[in-house]
Chain A
């Protein structure tokens, strides 16, 4: 069955340091993978996606993610964290039997806290 795991409930990083938010997945077939961000009291916003092609995907706000098929991972990264990056981050994968629909399965979320 399709699933996605975010092993860390919270990630703490100092401003200016690199950050990584982890995501692993389990899918049959080609994975469609997404990262979304949720700022306090707001809806989710799209950051980036992997459908096919280059394993390094670049997205909004300087974020990037690396698709690793052998490790079934899709970790979110940024070279230099900002306090304004503090938010809740969700990894998502296309749902099983989604077919042509947009159905996604979301991870449980990782809270990123960037300290000044």
Chain B
């Protein structure tokens, strides 16, 4: 089982560039989410989705867009990268329901110069 797959693993951008972080899961999970991990701040929720066609904002959504056209895929778009978006990004998925555990991808390490 592949689980949650994130690509790329590493990326360096210049300020103002755009890019898409890919996330795919093969567990037929309804819930998917994006977090960023910064030193001393833990994981903060960027955006999440409870099913295809449904997305919502998390704690730190500014500067990021998402879409959910299929159950499997949940890409995260940076339209105009800023140095403050330098971080490690994690995608997670879960069966719908607050009691269910989340499965995480291996992460994308992004540097914005």
Does B102 make an interface contact (CB < 8 A)? yes
Q: How does the 8 Å CB contact mask read for A105-116 relative to B, with 1 for contact and 0 for none?
A: 011110000000
Could you say which residues of chain A place their CB within 8 Å of the CB of B40? 9, 108
Could you say which residues of chain B place their CB within 8 Å of the CB of A44? 43, 90, 92, 102, 104
Q: Is the CB of B99 within 8 A of A49?
A: yes
Q: A44-B90, A108-B41, A109-B42 are in contact. Are A101 and B104 (CB under 8 A)?
A: no
Q: How does the 8 Å CB contact mask read for B80-113 relative to A, with 1 for contact and 0 for none?
A: 0000000000101010111111111111000000
Interface size counted on chain A using CB atoms at 8 A: 26
Does B74 make an interface contact (CB < 8 A)? no
CB distance from B76 to the nearest CB of A (A): 15
Q: How does the 8 Å CB contact mask read for A85-116 relative to B, with 1 for contact and 0 for none?
A: 00000100011001111111011110000000
A99 to B96, CA, bound (A): 11
Q: A43-B107, A102-B96 are in contact. Are A34 and B45 (CB under 8 A)?
A: no
Q: How large is the interface on B (under 10, 10 to 19, 20 to 34, 35 or more residues)?
A: 20 to 34
Could you say which residues of chain A place their CB within 8 Å of the CB of B43? 44, 90, 106
Q: CB within 8 A of B96: which of A34, A94, A100, A106?
A: A100
A101 to B92, CA, bound (A): 13
Q: Is the CB of A101 within 8 A of B98?
A: yes
Q: Is the CB of B104 within 8 A of A43?
A: yes
Q: Is the CB of B31 within 8 A of A46?
A: no
CB distance from B83 to the nearest CB of A (A): 22
Does A17 make an interface contact (CB < 8 A)? no
CB distance from A13 to the nearest CB of B (A): 22
Q: Which residues of A contact B (CB under 8 A)?
A: 9, 32, 34, 36, 41-46, 49, 51, 90, 94-95, 98-104, 106-109
Q: Which residues of B contact A (CB under 8 A)?
A: 4, 31, 33, 35, 40-45, 48, 50, 58, 90, 92, 94, 96-107
